[in-house]
Structure 1
């Protein structure tokens, strides 16, 4: 039977959805941003589905009356929307994303790892113990800013900490544009504490190390044991991977939440604006340096060093900024070199083919 997609063709804003029950597609995150990329005829012939889980060779997609597995598609990630070709799923068309969270893949390679698409809010989870690391939190916030996703820092295990306010103060120093909450992931009112971001049609994601309570928080929002949970080793506050792949879960009342495996390594790539936003004060100061390529070390007329000498900026924070800027520049250069190599290879292949035709 042909389905009628006209009821949600125009999409809806989150404000509209607060006044009425969302349709099934809207509860998955469908909005005007996606409907404007297609037409009613296209929606009827190739119904929209969302990727809720990625396996090694297959994608689990969900739509109105559709819950199926299709073959893996190039560069498609959890959270993507597809126009599903029912006869030939490999020809399904991905819609443009409104956000994309990515990082440089772990290891010494140069590849980029796509983490999730079309996320509205990222909950960056750390705990009030040895897991807390200010430099790592700055990286996560830069990742979110670059993707134009709202970052919220959640500090778990506050009930096991003598003074959680100290951790909150440190995390809040990262940026005045973020909210920091200390909580116990097992509290009965966790869903209430996160209610400002848990709205119909919104997609939430949890990022952080293993064992900090991401899966426990997912279960608190879904109201069921959607995600497997595990404990940490209290001697070093390290956890084991209970979540082995990224998966979107549906929320009561509409909305989606993404659980992710813990990240032991987070290298940024294509995150220049994100880093600049996290360190907005230092970025602004650098504009006052005498030389455009100032390394902010011993160069004359360095505004950064002048502010440091005056006690206006923190030395440790300055070093973290310089490290991230250098890392971003190195990764960006690596990408340019890789593109240049690809262009050179294409030219070589064309030259060989041309020689053979002669």
Structure 2
């Protein structure tokens, strides 16, 4: 069911008649990054709209007094900004993104799946139960860091365990770059503890597995129960897919919230710098190896192996780093190879068409 966004559109009003309020576009997340890409004439001729929902049948977009649906496009995802071409909606211009979350899509064809665009903060949500998994958290964090999105780890369901300190310590040990917040997804905790990142006009995303409380957190920020939630299975602490599509929810007077379906498989592709940022210490060590192409296995002069032997780095963390690096390299190489093949095939088709035209 498509949500009605009409309450967020229309004329901009000052609450007391004196202080100007954010414009409709600013409430949707419009920032100088996007404004500098267009001219004043563009706003009149092709008004900016933001993609708030993606369906198989089309793109739900809203803007200043605009609420409509555009034809589906493979190159557009939720959170994107477009310059609306009213005469030919297929030709609406996609503005350069401030950030982009993506992963290798499940399946054998190694396509890239766009998750969301123009996110300011990514809340990586996990529960203090069997869902908690350091390796999975590292994958989400690498995606966020690669996209220059501020990541924050959120631990939910801490009230269901006797001592949440172990989960907090394990999460905090992943990276000094990432704050860890423990909260109750119900009640006032989300609004109070996440206020630093949930400023008006900022777009935040809740990422994580099904059942960790992403929809509950979105409802808490919005002050509604609009999004359906479900309990986890007690046997294995796994949740059911309550959210079935990625959708932006605009919090009145606050931020824009992206709720996403749970993702247990997060395959790495084109995130080399994100992995390097997350494992900054291991990356720095690797530059001290004797050989530039050192695989950190049996090569002489390996700084990584020397640090491991000296007890300076954790073996399990090293194994996860190597796995992510290998996976990212394989998926990125496979993607580059597929793009090369597609480009070569397209060139071949064009050459054949030219030959046929000459014969005709």
TM-score by length of 2: 0.92
Q: Which consecutive unaligned segments of at least 5 residues does structure 1 have?
A: 1-6, 9-18
* Contact map agreement 2:183 2:189 (CA 8 A) in 1: no
Task: Describe how 1:104-253 pairs up with structure 2 within 5 A.
Answer: 104-253=104-253
Match of 2:321 in 1: 321
Cα pair distance change 1:141/1:20, threshold 3 Å: farther
In 2, the alpha carbon distance for the partners of 1:182 and 1:280 equals 25
Matched, 1:21 2:24: no
Q: Which residue number in structure 2 is paired with residue 12 of structure 1? A: none
Give the secondary-structure state (helix, strand or coil) at the position aligned to 1:216: helix
Distance 1:189 1:336 in 2: 44
Cα distance in 1 for partners of 2:349, 2:164 equals 60
Offset of residue 112 of structure 1: 0.2
Determine the structure 2 residue equivalent to 1:307: 307
TM-score of the superposed pair, with normalisation by structure 1: 0.93
Q: Are the equivalent residues in 2 in contact too, given 1:99–1:148 (CA < 8 A)?
A: yes
* 1:268 and 1:328 in contact (8 A); partners too: yes
* Structure 1 residue matching 2:144: 3-state secondary structure: helix
Secondary structure of the 1:206 match is strand
Q: CA deviation at 1:252?
A: 2.1
Per-residue deviation, 1:354: 4.2
Q: SS of the residue aligned with 1:301?
A: coil
CA-to-aligned-CA distance 1:90-139 (integer Å, 9 cap, x gap) = 12111111000000001222100000000000000000000000000000
Which ranges of structure 2 fall in alignment gaps of 5 or more residues?
1-10, 13-18
Q: Secondary structure at the match of 1:238?
A: coil
What RMSD, in angstroms, separates the aligned Cα atoms of the two structures?
Answer: 1.5
Give every structure 1 segment of 4 or more consecutive aligned residues whose post-TM-superposition deviation is greater than 3 Å: none
Q: Is the 8 A contact 1:28 1:254 kept in 2?
A: no
1:36 is matched with 36
| Residue-by-residue CA offset, 1:121-179 (whole Å, 9 max, x unaligned) | 00000000000000000000000000000000001000001111110111111110111
Residue 241 (structure 1) shift: 0.4
Kept after mapping to 2: 8 A contact 1:21/1:253:
no
Offset of residue 347 of structure 1: 3.5
Paired residue secondary structure (2:258): strand
